[in-house]
Amino acid sequence: MILFYKPFRVGDVVKIAGIKGTVIEIGISMLVLKTEDDLTVIIPNSKVWGAPITNYSGNKTATL
């Protein structure tokens, strides 16, 4: 579902299930984040869809 809906991309800064980090990989069964303190966190996709997702990179303001 993540690959289909694409709520975020590699390089986006996101917060998922209380964990904030940069997306470094999106796989079929898991998501890999690099946190601000340089930790690598692997989150199963089933947990991603069961949790709130905040995409800090996706909140760009359009200019007219």
Domain locations in the chain as residue ranges: 2-55
Please say if the pLDDT value at position 62 is more than 50. Answer: no
The model's confidence at residue 60, banded by pLDDT at 50, 70 and 90, is low
Q: Over range 26-47, report the average pLDDT.
A: 94
One-character DSSP codes across 15-63: EETTEEEEEEEE-SSEEEEEETTS-EEEEEHHHHTTS-EEESTT-PPP-
Give pLDDT, residue 5: 65
Tell which CATH architecture fits domain 2-55. Roll (2.30)
Q: What is the pTM of this model?
A: 0.81
Q: Over range 26-36, report the average pLDDT.
A: 93
Lookup: tokens for 36: 């601000």
In the beta sheet, which residues pair with residue 21? 14, 35
Please say if the pLDDT value at position 39 is more than 70. Answer: yes
Give pLDDT, residue 3: 59
